[in-house]
Amino acid sequence: MNDLTSAEIVDTKKLFYQLVKKDYKKLFLWIFVSLLWTIASIAFLPHVIIESELGFLIFLSPWFLHAALLVGLYGQIREAFWKQLSLKYNWEYQSFKDTSEEKSLLFQIGHSRIVHHGIQGTYNNLPFHIFEYEYTRGSGKSKRTYSFTVFEVKFAGTFPHLYLNYKSDWYSNTPSMFSSLARISVPSEFADKFKLYAPKEYEIETLEIFTPNIFAFLLDSKWNHDMEFINGELVIYNDEKFTNFTSLDAELNKIKKFIDTLSPLLNRLRLTQIGDISPPLGK
């Protein structure tokens, strides 16, 4: 693991496999010892295994321990990857972000919400934050964890809560029937790809932000995830964890172009919040 402090991590998965392959002798020895332990436990301690509620831990403990070590190794690689990203972009690495005050629909879903890694800096003098986020829904056998990479940029203006859903992804944070958000019609050539939500009182202003040119940009750039405008922020969430610098940098460059297009308008807007979202900035 000392190599992580000096080696450039271009791809986290490749490095993980390389490190495991490098120590393949230790890996095979561990597997061999674990097999012997499992066989011996079943042969000499069958009654303990059957009668005890946690008896299965006796013969599976070496496998659990090995899995924990591998998970720990990959976690260290992920942390080193994000720290190196912070150096590449000249931003600050952050291992934690408090999302309890976040108003985006994404942060209102599920339980066990966790931020793993992130970097924070500026782009064109706008505060910018990228971080990994996950939440869990259900419990027991129906329990499932969902992971995202979130991009947040803060503008100087204030504007109502807007939500753009990319219809072909597997998730949708559709506002509830009690929300102030309502479905807004978009040009027919884009309606099969996107659903747009905004307060009814701001339908005209919303379509001044999401113009046909903006929708065309999203289609041309193969945009395939959701976004929200809320409390002066643009929140974009991608339902994947990036494992290599090339793909993350390409995604960031695409988002920067989107920001460049919208910045002149969003920095000067001064619109009042409506409904179930917190008041505008400065109040």
Domain locations in the chain? Answer: 2-89, 93-268
In 3-state terms, what secondary structure has residue 238?
strand
Tokens standing for residue 273: 């919040």
In 3-state terms, what secondary structure has residue 131?
strand
Residue that the structure tokens 């919303």 belong to: 206
Pick out the chain residues at pLDDT < 70.
Answer: 1-7, 37, 41-59, 170-179, 273-283
144-154 sheet: strands from edge to edge: 92-94, 111-123, 126-137, 144-154, 233-238, 226-230, 162-166, 194-199, 181-184
**Amino acid residing at 262:** L
The DSSP line for 135-199 is EEES-GGG-EEEEEEEEEEE-SSB---EEEEETTSS---PPPTTSSEEEE---HHHHTTEEEEEE
CA atoms of 266 and 157, how far apart (whole Å): 5
Identify the pLDDT of residue 26: 74
Identify the pLDDT of residue 283: 24
Identify the pLDDT of residue 257: 95
pTM: 0.82
**Using the 8-state DSSP alphabet, how is residue 157 labeled?**
S
CA atoms of 261 and 259, how far apart (whole Å): 5
Q: Which of 157, 162, 159 is nearest to 264 (CA)?
A: 157
Q: Is the dihedral of CA 274, 184, 156, 254 positive or negative?
A: positive
Distance of CA 54 to the CA centre of its chain: 35
Tokens standing for residue 110: 């599920």
Identify the pLDDT of residue 35: 78
Identify the pLDDT of residue 6: 60
Identify the pLDDT of residue 7: 66
